[in-house]
Amino acid sequence: MSVIAIDGPAASGKSSVSRRLAKRLGFAYVNSGSMYRAVTWEVLRQGVDTTSPADVAGALSGSDIACGIGDGGDSFIRINGRIPDEALRDSRVNLHVSLVAAVPAVRDLVSARLRALAENRDVVMEGRDIGSAVFPETPFKFYLDASPEIRRRRRAAEGQSDEIEARDKMDSSRKSAPLMVAGGAVVIDTSHLALDGVVDAVLDILRPLGITPR
**Interacting residues toward ligand CDP by CB under 6 A:** 8, 10-16, 32-34, 36-37, 97-98, 101, 127-130, 154, 158, 167, 171, 190, 193, 195, 198
| Dist. CA 109–CA 60, nearest whole Å | 9
CA distance 172 to 163: 14
| Distances in whole angstroms, Cα of residue 142 to Cα of each of 9, 35, 128 | 12, 20, 11
- Tell me the C-alpha distance between 152 and 136, whole Å: 29
Shortest distance in whole angstroms from residue 16 CB to ligand CDP = 3
182 or 208, CB closer to ligand CDP?
182
Least spacing, CB of residue 210 vs ligand CDP, in Å: 25
CB of 165 to ligand CDP, least distance (A): 11
State the minimum distance, in angstroms, from the CB of residue 33 to ligand CDP.
2
Which residue is at the shortest CB distance from ligand CDP? Answer: 33
| Burial annotation 78-96 (CB, 10 A radius, 16+ → b, else e) | ebeeeebeebbebeebbbb
Measured from the CB atom, the residue of 149 and 210 that comes closer to ligand CDP is 149
